[in-house]
Chain A
Amino acid sequence: MAEATSHVQQTSKQRQELSLPARAQRRLSRQGVAYLFLLPGFLIFGLFVIYPMLYSLRISFYDWNVIDAARSTFVGLDNYRTFVNDPIFQRAVLNTVSYAAITVPAQIVFALVAAILLDQPLRGRTFFRVAYYLPVITSWVIVTLIFEFLFNSQAGFINYLLRDVLRLVDARVRWLADPILVMVPINLLGIWKGVGWSMVILLAALQAIPDEFMEAAAVDGATPWQRLRHVVLPLLRPTLVFLLVVLVIGGLNVYISGLLLTDGGQPQGRSHFILTLMYAETFDRLNFGGGAAISYFLTALVFVVSVVQLRLLRRRVEY
């Protein structure tokens, strides 16, 4: 301890004598420590994110041989060109974009309604909060299999309900055999599983709105609808923008539910999503270059969509 104190004295003495370049040096060493702390995280990030990303960019320009990379042949942009003109890829992009366009607004609307209701002093509020959040923490694979049972064309509950109970249809609907009908369970699943997460985020944002604002609006004679429209929604805007961006990225990355419910793009590859097609190209057809090219298409799509959203929607809101 004594040694340490003397050291402090020494350094404070030195500090007085510091010339300008020494000060710069000192600043650098202080920052150096910060960089040192960043190093472990950056090493992991570099090794497991940056390096594979660049490596797969390289793969996307080759007819890649995964066992023996030396036997790969350079094909330039051929992999990209092939997919741009491929009707299965175009269909996969359409399926993916429409999945995001359907599930994201639906998730936000349902989550907002649930969050506003569960922000009220209701009996059993905690129960409902947990109940709405449960789908979020269940495994994608398990809930997808449950939906597969529900929508089974021959023994599923949904068809039983439609045909035998409600008598809305004469014959059983072949939900999972049709490239358009199969989108119904996939989109429903995406909405059902995602609502709870958005709800929790919105609930937190709602609770951050000071009570005085609501009271003041009430005193001014604002109806509950007017309070929602003119007080709550504007204040939730940053949260809603955040949700929109994050959910759209998630929606464009739809994978497990599509893979399991469509049996890998059946029929005829028309029910593929971008990621299920990427997997099929890579691991079923061993077309690693093509798979890498597809993943770069997806990256570009996500990047462009996110930048556009943030540009258009970001506006500062202060309480």
Chain B
Amino acid sequence: MIKNRWLTGFGLLLALLLLMALAACGGQPPADEVEQPTEEPAVEEPVDEEPVDEEPVDEEPEAEAATVTYWHTMSDAEVEALDQVIAMFQEAHPNITVETTRFAYDDFKSALLTGLAGDEGPDTARLDIIWVPEFAELGALVALDEAMPNFQSIADNTFPGPLATNFWQGSYYGLPQDTNTQVLLWNGEVFGEAGVEAPPATLEEMQQVACDLSEGEEQYGYALGGTYFWAPAPVFYSMGGQVVDEAITTADGYINGPDSVAAFEMLAEMYEQGCISPNLLGGGIGTSDGHATGLYAMITDGPWMVDIYANDYPDFDVQFAPVPAGPGGSTSSVVGGQDVVLFEGAENQEAALAWIEFLMSEEAQVTMAQSGVIPTLRTVRESADLPDYFGVFLEQLETAQARVPHPAWGDMDTAINNAFQRMLAGEQTAQEALDQAAEEINALLQ
């Protein structure tokens, strides 16, 4: 019996310990819990006043200590700039601590979702512009035009294209933190050896030059990173292609319209002739490595390549040019970028809004620009402190077009991606493949 009692006691102890361990896992660190409620009443006032009052009220000593979490997918260079931005922010708001978490782009969506589903998500994040409608539709985002008193004055100073990516069903769910686009990158050495002086100015010329600079499996005139929409998008938009109508009601006559078909026909033909590298189908040499080593004479890519090449290929002299113009005579490209958003579960909304406002400030945008991030504020674009190579990107942004701002954009991208794959595999003509894509996209719009 004694033995049994001992066993019982021991078993109970184990069970208790386990329960305690489980409880501890689920809870917050106790220190935070104790401090916040006691100080809250005293602090709320100054924070409330903040947007109204132009004076830096936050420096007053009684401000409550608050933490804002911020998730992002920044590069090394961007993280360095962000650290400076955070230091500047904390100087102005000594009571607010910004905790950042960095993710790989490919893991970001699933990390956010699991975090949000478990109430462990961030207060704020920098989201790819194409994800904002999707997360808004899920009910994860706070409408900033309602929650942020000075939303309108900030929004008025941003460019309409990037701002529009935050709009979903009557509200703005974010602010455009940065923007970017793709331009043509041409390898001067490869061009020089072949006696080609300048980058192609039209898509027709581009096809010609690409084929002239291709040589069996040893060199390709042009390379795309994959078959997902972002990769052919510069050629697609420059050719005059459209995915859907402006009101986002139908793809019929747009994705399978003559200009869209012409763009994909050109790419499929170039691939067929061996003027586009097969790496776009996967399992080859990546576009940036291939371009710097001369394997690919031309690629299309964004402003971050400056930093990547500076690290990986310091001797490579990267050359930028606008995307070659289509038959209509005008160049175009695709708008990329990121929006800063506020999540529904944010613990301290006032502090989070202060952080968002600071990210949209001129000083933060100028600091981030040094790492290759293109600012979205009109007043900053005119400033002289921006890197020289921004010129071609800013010029390209004038005509660059946004992808469809719709929660089902991911599926639309897949439809076009699959159509492109079917063309490259020779299973369908461009017209047939895009007719099918139009049908699939229309089904998503209903």
Residues in chain A within 8 A of chain B (CB atoms): 4, 7-8, 11, 29-30, 32-33, 36-37, 39-40, 43-44, 47, 65-68, 71, 148, 151-156, 171-172, 174-177, 182, 261-263, 266-269, 282-286
Contacts between the two chains (Cβ within 8 Å), count: 115
Which stretch, B14-22, B196-204, B304-312, touches the partner chain A?
B14-22
Query: Which residues of B1-35 have CB atoms within 8 Å of chain A's CB atoms?
Result: 1-2, 4, 7-8, 11-12, 14-15, 18-19, 22
Given contacts A33-B11, A68-B139, A267-B425, contact A172 B217 (CB under 8 A): yes
22 residue pairs from A and B, CB less than 8 Å apart: A11-B1, A29-B4, A66-B116, A66-B117, A68-B138, A153-B283, A154-B217, A154-B278, A174-B278, A177-B282, A177-B284, A263-B226, A263-B282, A266-B282, A267-B227, A267-B281, A268-B418, A268-B422, A283-B110, A283-B113, A284-B109, A286-B134
Residues in chain B within 8 A of chain A (CB atoms): 1-2, 4, 7-8, 11-12, 14-15, 18-19, 22, 109-110, 113, 116-117, 134, 138-140, 217, 226-227, 277-279, 281-285, 295, 344, 410-411, 418, 421-422, 425
A284 touches B410 (CB 8 A): yes
Distance (whole angstroms) from the CB of A163 to the closest CB of chain B = 9
CA distance in complex: A177, B284 (Å): 9
CA distance in complex: A156, B217 (Å): 13
Given the complex, which residues of A lie within 8 Å of B418, measured CB to CB? 267-269
CA distance in complex: A182, B282 (Å): 10
Given the complex, which residues of B lie within 8 Å of A154, measured CB to CB? 217, 277-279, 284-285, 295
Most chain A CB neighbours (cut-off 10 Å) among B12, B110, B134, B281: B281
Given the complex, which residues of A lie within 8 Å of B11, measured CB to CB? 33, 36-37, 39
Given the complex, which residues of B lie within 8 Å of A153, measured CB to CB? 278-279, 283-284
CA distance in complex: A33, B411 (Å): 56
Most chain A CB neighbours (cut-off 10 Å) among B113, B410, B422: B113
Given the complex, which residues of A lie within 8 Å of B295, measured CB to CB? 154
Given contacts A29-B4, A33-B7, contact A65 B138 (CB under 8 A): yes
A176 contacts which of B7, B139, B282, B344 (Cβ < 8 Å)?
Answer: B282
Given the complex, which residues of B lie within 8 Å of A37, measured CB to CB? 7, 11, 14
Given the complex, which residues of B lie within 8 Å of A151, measured CB to CB? 283
A286 contacts which of B113, B283, B285, B344 (Cβ < 8 Å)?
Answer: B113
**Chain A residue at smallest Cβ distance from B344:** A67
B14 touches A152 (CB 8 A): no
**Chain B residue at smallest Cβ distance from A33:** B7
A4 touches B2 (CB 8 A): yes
Besides A43-B15, A152-B285, A263-B282, 15 more A-B contacts (Cβ < 8 Å) are A4-B2, A11-B1, A36-B11, A39-B14, A43-B22, A66-B116, A66-B138, A67-B140, A152-B284, A155-B285, A174-B281, A174-B283, A176-B281, A177-B281, A286-B138
**Chain B residue at smallest Cβ distance from A4:** B2
CA distance in complex: A171, B278 (Å): 12
CA distance in complex: A43, B11 (Å): 13
A36 touches B282 (CB 8 A): no
CA distance in complex: A33, B5 (Å): 9
Given the complex, which residues of B lie within 8 Å of A44, measured CB to CB? 18
Given the complex, which residues of A lie within 8 Å of B282, measured CB to CB? 176-177, 262-263, 266-267
**Chain A residue at smallest Cβ distance from B279:** A154
CA distance in complex: A176, B226 (Å): 13
Distance (whole angstroms) from the CB of B282 to the closest CB of chain A = 5
B138 contacts which of A67, A148, A182 (Cβ < 8 Å)?
Answer: A67
